[in-house]
A and B are shown apart, each in its own frame.
Chain A
């Protein structure tokens, strides 16, 4: 226990300490650097999990499923902090942020990291719930950080809808406990994963069903599934871009991860209703967020809707179930968070270069800022699911495995994807090609994070390390 205890304390402790420090420390350069360093240390700790996993304690657990996500989260957290360092610098210059808020921003960033890591490693459904609520509240505060009318409005909307979601999720959690209590007995065990999963077959199916409905809606709100998605586009559009990246790239994943955990329980319990149809339906509904892409004028809001679409695809995949589809879902989660955050990095720089988020005021980006422009093109190509990038593989697996089992669903899915692709490239043409519009100053920023993500996605589209594959396949089995 003690030998393997270190990584987790790193993953959870470093952010807390950093947050405490960042609240105290002044100065933009120092805090930004500290932020990067802290996230980097967290990343190191997380990576060390690959080599030694701690034994599951009643509160903390590391297994095949969350191990990958912890590393992913910390990694994206690290790259985002690098990106945010240059981004926030510019925001300070143009005075959108005051140093006071900046300090607050960095502290919150670390708290958010802590909350998400906690949600991932929690072995207790109550703790997980608390962690996700914490993550929500911090992001609410960060979305509203610009104090503009739109920002406050977005934050408020996010807050209200998020709180309702949290409430529903809590009710679901309680119901799960109620279902577990007769079998496992009162007390902590009845809320502990490692115990729940082993005994879930004996739970009361009806209770589990109700529980799952509430959890689906509660955590689904965080995932941004339609029709619970309303908060997502505005929160992405109005908050600072690093937060948009973290939201799309990580928070949605964390919520979905929670959902998967509970799906496992139902998968074990044969008497309970199959969660598949529910998830498939919500997935398809969300998929048609693709239609919303056509009328978007704000570049960040557009990519937010694309996140909804992709969450729909992922939920659809898990809903279909089966080793292939589940594998595809897990892969899609990973790839999407990498790609989408990369896109938001690009978008952040673009918005700073152009001084606006209105697509109408951008154009010819590949002429004026080749690196940025082509980076965005590559990102959109990736998010549109075109090979040879990672998302294509997952979409390939989803569609082919579905079509053999439920042709009509697959056809609907395909049309949804196609509509999304069409919309994305319609906008991309306006942004990246054609006559240059708007200011064309070169962005003074490091493109390393963006291209690091895209490189990973590219590699994954062609070659996947066997270890990762093994974990995913293992989890895919558990997911039923």
Chain B
């Protein structure tokens, strides 16, 4: 019985993230538009776009290889699996132990790996620009992320997201400098990873500034739809990661009554809404930086993460 419930919950979560992701993207766009005093597209616009793209035929470059066609599905699968393993509204998901936080990050890493390859596949110069910049960003973002994981994991004594959330929600944590540092670092990394301003501009097609968009330049139709969807999933994932690590309140502990789940879901959606709006606010209030400023930005994140960890080691020993 319990197993059945767990299965249901796990399924629910997978469905939930999949459905919420485009909405979040839509929300961010809407809020940005409003902040710029435009009416902006409706919230469900992303769904429409996806549907349209799905129905369109794929226009494939002549020399695109099988890798180019497989990649969208790979990326989608990896991102979706990752997203569905992050506790969103309930800890202790059935399969949460099949991959801890490090593994989740690695999953996103493999998604990026293949996307970067796809960018090189057609052999156009823009694809090259995109992937080379992407890997440069990733080469700094990933260590920063690992450092953040260290910090939180050392506090929670685990890299298991459910355990972490469970520990962090408990009162014994208290306020810690390293947690603050980790939060700032995590936000910076999240911005970089999701190709948001100031690191990258999801809306632009101005060649010299774009990173992510340049990689997927050659994609069209359902492939493009999958990539867009995975991008929204990734954004969602990072928001819910921040939520479950730093604002874990409202997370329903495992084995709670089914009724509680509604509250949990509501709380989760609320967090997403707030997070999305904050992101929009941030994006409208800052200008995009040059590509070669990005390393400094991420280097700062890395340093913050390392600092947080070291502080932790020291405070642990005192």
A–B contact via C-beta, under 8 angstroms: no
